[in-house]
Amino acid sequence: MFSSLNAFNSLSPALRTAIDKKQITGDFTAQALLEQMRALAEFDRKNVLTRSQLRKWKWLAIVLGIVVLFISPLPFVLRVCIFVAAIAAVIYLSMIIRRLSQFAISENFSQVALPFIAILKQDMQAAQTLSIRLDLTPAIVSKKCTGTSKPYERGAYKKIVDTTYRDPWFDGSARLADDAILRWRLLDTICESKRSKRSSSGKTKTKLRHYKRSLVAIGLSLPNKFYGVNAAADRSSQKATSKITVHQGDKRSDVKLVRKFKAKSLQPLDPRALIDMISEAYKRATPPTRSAA
């Protein structure tokens, strides 16, 4: 408990502000941004671990209170005192867990954004800055809810209620070492489906399922003095879930790639998917000319 609070207090004012606002925005060098993100990821790791331990202590206090009150051979007055102390502990632990939950950070931060920026740094000049907007809020929160369906039936399920969430959580731009300008945008749309059915024993069982669709857009602006582009997109190589467009300008040529990823869980997107899309965008370009080497 105290390790999480101490870790929060030890963060820089900028990171404490980022946690309070649940957002990282601005222009940074890749190295400076990575240092902040790694410090924030370490705080989040400690916070998750602390909340997990406190939940175990909370359930232990509940079990202890019940066992002592109804099963223990101790004198009645002593049993009542221990039970009251256990209830007080449960209330106190619940308050602390709720407080620490306010610091919760989306798994997208540590599992997608952090490794992506670490890889991107390798293709940037040390002094070059990148611009990002990174939402740290988990996807399943009320402010991201876009609607809830009316109850309906399907198959064995007698009551299904779907709640949808829209989470445009990560976008940014960076100038790479080859003078190309990279832009990216990630949007998650989530359907939380609560399904209830009656079992053979007559009891009602409820299941919670999640369906996620991730929309990833990559834009690559290439300098014509270094690159040429294949303006004729090979439609046969495009997947049904992706779209590629190429536009040639006087000084720069743009390659845009949009792809959809579907999942039946809240598991974060594999960051390699972003790198693969950038690589695919580069395949539309010819290698640097000999004079630019």
- Give per-residue pLDDT as tens, 22-39: 999 999 999 999 999 999
- pTM of this prediction? 0.85
| Mean pLDDT, residues 55-62 | 93
Res 203: pLDDT:
85
Per-residue pLDDT of 131-178, as tens digits, reads 999 999 999 999 999 999 999 998 888 899 999 999 999 999 999 999
- For the stretch 119-135, pLDDT in tens is 999 999 999 999 999 99
Closest by CA to 149, choosing from 205, 211, 198, 107, is 211
d(CA 78, CA 67): 13
- Residues 255-259, mean pLDDT to the nearest whole number: 95
Looking at residue 168, its pLDDT comes to 97
pLDDT tens-place string over residues 189-203: 999 999 998 877 778
Provide the pLDDT confidence category of residue 241 given band limits of 50, 70 and 90: low
Strands (E), the chain: 23-29, 129-135, 145-148, 152-154, 157-175, 181-198, 204-223, 242-248, 252-263
Domain boundaries, the chain: 1-105, 134-292
- When comparing pLDDT for 155 and 107, which is higher? 107
Mean pLDDT of 57-68: 91
Looking at residue 184, its amino acid is: W
Percent of the chain with pLDDT strictly greater than 70: 92
